[in-house]
Structure formats: structure tokens, C-alpha cells
Chains A and B, each alone.
Chain A
């Protein structure tokens, strides 16, 4: 198998969907009782048949997470560098056709933002941009990473997919992780939601984790935007992707996020609604299926939900996030990519984590461990 696309092309969306919805309670029980689970077990765990086993799934998920990750939750902050974007994405506040003022932070502005994020206690930062290859390109990222690196133990990016040599150039500068969500694995629906821009190329995006693996990135993040298509089928393909990558690029670590479509000004209504109960089912299913993968929960989710699920499988959280460039210091009022739901500050979230008998971890990497160039 030279790329995930080869494997992906052997699956048909409707067959996978039918197979998930045909899973029975017996399949769910069998999946819960095994010590090692495969993709068929994952299908059972995300199926409607597993809904009545949620309490059991939550208990198991909690136990497994505790063994691997201990009583800890890692914290990170997103830092939006730019909302310039040449793509049309029907669900995104930064979409090209959304008439908002565009901004890309200058080096000075980046440092202003850094100061505020550092003062909140953060040591891990995620740099986020839209996709504007004329101005926010690999040279911009190089400069940003070099600028930020002295201040943070760990720097990740969530930007447009890049070519292999570009990733290889960024990693030695201190780039630790790259998050690239497929949005949906439904090829036709993907086209509908991404009608214009470089992002409309489904296959290039699908191939991105392969390029990251070849570049030997320390960690990559996968996920789909929940609400675009049937979340169960999309999650199966995410798990399939994860399994393929783990075996092939065994030196990389993986994380999964489950962003649910959030409102933004002039945005799309979700095609598929996912309830809190279903999101918890998905979180537990991932954990039971894969004991080592990191599971990340953002401020898109409500206070109540985050308070209650942080011990049930989640390993990583953001808090106090601003989703507009300059949001922390430069221009706090500008338009956001999406509305966040949990608006509590990082110190409030840290307190909450402690009150549940967990330790908030601000630092779990050090630049001295970064790959060395010859």
C-alpha cells in the first residue's frame, strides 16, 4: 500500500454505512469484552446498537485512559495568525465569499499575542490560519515558528496542507505536530462543501497524513467536521485512516479531534445533528478501540459537557481560546472563525481539572528533544 488513497478506494461509503447500522447488540457486547479491538469492533461501538451500553463504555474508556495517560489533562492554546483564505468552505467563517475584513498578523503582532498566551500559563501552542498561499505560505510559517519557538515548549500548526519538502523544512525549526482534518471522507459531499480553492482537491488533502508520515512528524491530528455527513461513517473512515497510518508511520503519534459544526455569521446549518450523548459515545468508542491515541476536546463544546467528559477518555483540551487573528491582544473584537461555547479562562479550566482530581499539564515537551539537523 503506497498511500491511504489505495486503501480508501477499496471501500464504498454506502456499504460501510449499512454495515455500521446493521451492527447488533451482540456485536457491541463482543467488542466490549475483547482485550484488543479491530475496525469491526469500532463499527459496533459507534453504531446505534451501542447506545444503550454507553454507561459501560464510559467506565471502560475511563479505566483505559487512566492506565495510559494517568490522572492528567494536557492544555494548549490556539493562536490564529491569519483569516485570509482563498477557499470557499460552506461552513467556515473565514470562507473566501464571506465578506469580512481579512488580517494576517505581523511579527510584532504575533509577539503581542504570545505575551498574553504565555501569561495565561500556556507552554503548548497551536498556530492556525486559513489558506492564502500568496501571503500565508511556507516562508511565513518558517518565520512564525522561529519567532515563537523560544517562548513555547511545543509548537503545532493547523494550516493548509503542504508539500512534503515544506513539512521537512518546518520540522527542524521546531514544528512538533500538524493537524489536518479531512472534514468529510464523503467524496461528493466534500466537493459540495469545498467548491473553490486549493482545498477543493479531495485527494491532495487525503494524502496529507502520508506526506507528514514521510516527513517523520512527531505527531499528527486527524478528524472530520461533524455535521457535514453521517458522523458514524465519517468516523469509521477516520479510524481506518488512523489504523493505516499507525502501522505505516510507526514513529509518529496521533491525535483525534471531533469538532461539531458551530454557528458563525452567515453560516451553514448542520446537515446531521449529533447529540451530546452521541459525541460521548464516539469519544468512548475511540478510546476503547485505540488505547494510545490522544483525544482532544475544544472550546466548541459547552461547559457542562466539558466538565463531565474530561475524565471519560479525553487527554487534551484548549481553554480561553480566541478564534480570530489578534484575538488575545491585538484586536479582541474582530470576527471569529466560529463561536466558542465554553468561554472560561485557562485558570478556571485548570481549577476545574484539579477539582476533579486530575493534574492540568502545561508542559509535556521540550525543545531540547526536537529533531536535529545535521
Chain B
């Protein structure tokens, strides 16, 4: 079981809500994925009129928690303001901090993210910041009270898989908070791989939403994440390294 702040999750697959062809297909895909934490862009929902908001309505299931995200803000100040309004309107203290001032590649700003994490943690938020796979930044975020870290596997929406794997391994090795691989996971095998190397969870959106069959793909990711986690806990068998019978370098010891 995964614990983030005071929240417990059975499923280690987190999902998103963008890019779906309809709100119903989104709902069915998320249900098929078994996901219990679903991120929602504040810009897409009507906070003033939640009852009529179709997206929020479709996510109204007892096992699903909403993870509002700040996509669209460009600095810590805007992020803190948006997070506070989200907490007030949605009555949720979870916040996915997305500060990407670059709208082309959506690259997270590490400096503003660190600032906002510190401030929001002090304000009692359970902060999940989207960041580069930067091991030092992860430690700095821990120091200021982050609830988890969400390093990217490759650029958001790129479906390119775990391009940052070497850095993810260092982050996972060093982390005292849950590590959630957030962006770039393009196939269930990528999600499995992230779980095998010890990620606590993965967040997947585009790969499910844009698949020709998002519901089946939601299920495929569910199974892949479960398999990867079981494999991590069971520990992988060592890879065959091609042992040789003779010991030319050390045989002198036996002489």
C-alpha cells in the first residue's frame, strides 16, 4: 500500500483527465485502470459551478480522489494562489504542483517549484510537485516538506518512455518520500519498467487517452503497474553475465 501524506492508495497507477474524446470514455477508462488518484487541471473545471461541471461529475466515485493541478501558472506566486482557491472550492488539500512557464515543451521550473512547495507545505497542503529527474532537487524538495516527488520520464505527452532512467534510479535510491514517475510513459511496458526499478507509482494520461481503445489501454496499464510492482518486491533474478569456467586472472592464488 502506498501512503502519500495521510492518504492510502491500493492502486499505484495515477491517471489524468485530458485529451479524451468524451467525458464518458474518460470515466470508463479511469475505472478500467483502477486508478484511485486522478489529476484534474484547474483550468478545465468550473470551480464556481461544480455541480454542473461534467468532468467533475464523471469523477464522482467513492474510490477516486481528485488531484487538482496548477497547469497554466508560470511562477510560485500564481501557483500558491491557484492552490488555495482549489482547496477552498474542492475541499481537497492535495495539490499537483505544475509550474511550467514554457508552454511549448512544458518544462517544469525547478526554482519556482521549490519555492511554491515550501510555501504550500507550510500552509498544510499535501504537495506533489512535477519536476525534472533531478536528484538534488528531489532532496531539496524533501527538506521543504514535499509529500512526494514526480520526476518526468521524458517530455510530457511525448510517449517516449523512460529517457531519464539513470537519474530516476538515483532519485529512487535516495528518496525518503514516494517517487511517482510522471511524464512520458508511452506504453504499459514503460510503466512496468518504472515499477520494476522501484518507483512508488506512475502517472499516465496521454498513452491511455489517445489510444484508439482507451478503456482496454486503461486496463493494460493497471496490469502492467501491478506486474511491475510484484516484480520489484520479488526482486528480479540477476542478469546472466556470461560466467567462464576458468579464472585466468585469479587462478594464481591457487598455485
Contacts and interface: CB of A to CB of B under 8 A. Distances in A.
B209 interface: yes
Nearest to A293: B104
Given A359-B20, A363-B43, A364-B44, A70 B206 contact: yes
Contacts, number: 84
B103 A71 contact: no
Given A359-B20, A366-B43, A71 B78 contact: no
A39 B172 CA distance: 41
Contacts of B42: 366, 368-369
Interface in A355-371: 357-359, 361, 363-366, 368-371
B19 A71 contact: yes
A252 B85 CA distance: 24
Interface residues of B, number: 33
B44 A359 contact: no
Interface in A300-356: 354
- Determine the main DSSP class of B at the interface with A: loop
B159 A251 contact: no
A359 B47 contact: no
B101 A359 contact: no
A67 interface: yes
B21 A71 contact: yes
A68 B157 contact: yes
B59 interface: no
Interface string A94-120: 000000000000000000000000000
A292 interface: yes
A372 B79 CA distance: 11
Given A67-B206, A70-B210, A366-B43, A359 B21 contact: yes
A143 B23 CA distance: 36
B22 interface: yes
B43 A371 contact: no
A369 B73 contact: yes
A292 B106 CA distance: 10
B104 A67 contact: no
A68 B86 CA distance: 26
B250 to A, nearest CB: 48
Contacts of B173: none
B160 to A, nearest CB: 11
Contacts of A354: 22
A369 B46 contact: no
Contacts of B74: 251, 371
Interface size grouping (class) on chain A = 20 to 34
B248 to A, nearest CB: 46
B159 A368 contact: no
A70 B19 contact: yes
Given A358-B21, A359-B23, A246 B104 contact: yes
Given A359-B20, A366-B47, A251 B157 contact: no
Interface in B1-35: 18-23
Contacts of A365: 43, 72
Contact of B103 (A69, A253, A371): A253
B225 interface: no
Interface string B173-211: 000000000000000000000000000000000100110
A66 interface: yes
A72 interface: yes
Contacts of B210: 66-67, 70-71
Contacts of A69: 19
Residue of B23, B103, B210 with most chain A CB atoms under a 10 A cut-off: B103
Contacts of A140: none
Contacts of A364: 43-44
Contacts of A363: 43-46
A363 B210 CA distance: 20
Contact of A250 (B18, B20, B104, B158): B104
Contacts of B19: 69-72
Contacts of A372: 77-78, 81
Interface in A15-61: none
Contacts of A250: 101-102, 104
A119 B105 CA distance: 35
B114 interface: no
B95 interface: no
B149 interface: no
Nearest to B73: A369
B82 interface: yes
Contacts of A366: 42-43, 45, 47, 72, 82
Contacts of B73: 369
Nearest to A291: B104
Interface string B47-86: 1000000000000000000000010111001100110011
Contact of B209 (A71, A218, A219, A292): A71
Contacts of A253: 103-104
B157 A368 contact: no
A252 B42 CA distance: 19
Given A70-B209, A71-B21, A366-B43, 18 more contacts: A70-B18, A70-B210, A71-B20, A71-B209, A72-B20, A153-B43, A250-B104, A251-B102, A252-B103, A253-B104, A292-B103, A292-B105, A359-B20, A364-B44, A366-B45, A366-B72, A368-B82, A371-B74
Closest 4 CB pairs of A and B: A70-B19, A71-B21, A253-B103, A369-B72
12 contacts: A68-B157, A69-B19, A70-B209, A71-B209, A72-B18, A250-B102, A363-B44, A366-B47, A369-B70, A369-B82, A370-B78, A372-B81
